[in-house]
Amino acid sequence: MGSGDIPRESDAAAGDDAEGALAQAAIETLRWRVIAAVRRTCPAWLAERAEDIVQNVLTQLVAQARASEGERTYSAIYLEKAAYGATVAEIRRLCRRREESMEERETVLETPARYAGPERDAAAHEIARGIQDCLAQLLPSRRMAVALHLYGCTVPETARRLGWTPKKTENLVLRGLHQLRSCLSAKGLRP
């Protein structure tokens, strides 16, 4: 078993204490590898949430390993991508707009003029899919800047969170939005 391999749960449970200790050692080795990956991807302003990000990544990886048929090995690139995804998810969670209270939502739902109908809902879902597809085509830095913008973060807030200058962030947001609009237009979509 190599560094970062996760044995199946049945292997650890069926074996003796040595196998259980080996499984724990493998998980601990994986944990240190994930911590290193999160340190490389997590911006400095998010350092206080780094342990939460590590736990989210570890939970996913251990669940995957236990669901697989045999031992699972994770490459450094895979861990880096998992850490990046968990970091972006944490940033999105922090930047979400204020949620409406249940009373506000019920009032909106009760107002018939607010509901546009199934055609409008279908068009909105099509636009949402188009936005997701077009965002995936952006360069990673533009994608991150535009995604935070779409989640309601201001340019100064995005710059601070990502550790960029405000001018660089503004350029990335503007160019990314232009590219997003062009992509949506090419798909025949108009948000």
Q: What is the pTM of this model?
A: 0.45
Which range is least confidently modeled, 62-71, 127-136, 165-174? 62-71
Q: Are the CB atoms for 151 and 92 separated by under 8 Å?
A: yes
CATH of 117-186, one of 1.20.1250.20, 1.10.10.10, 1.25.40.80, 3.90.1150.10: 1.10.10.10
Is the pLDDT at 168 greater than 90? The verdict is: yes
Mean pLDDT of the chain: 77
Distance CA 59, CA 82 (A): 11
Cβ proximity of 157 and 144 under 8 Å? no
Structural domain spans, the chain: 9-95, 117-186
Predicted confidence (pLDDT) at residue 62 exceeds the cutoff of 50: yes
Average pLDDT over residues 70-83: 83
Helices (H), the chain: 9-14, 17-41, 50-67, 76-95, 102-110, 118-137, 140-150, 155-162, 166-186
**Residue pLDDT, tens place only, 105-147:** 444 444 444 556 677 777 778 888 888 888 889 888 998 898 8
The pLDDT tens digits of the residues spanning 25-56 come to 878 888 899 999 888 888 888 888 889 999 99
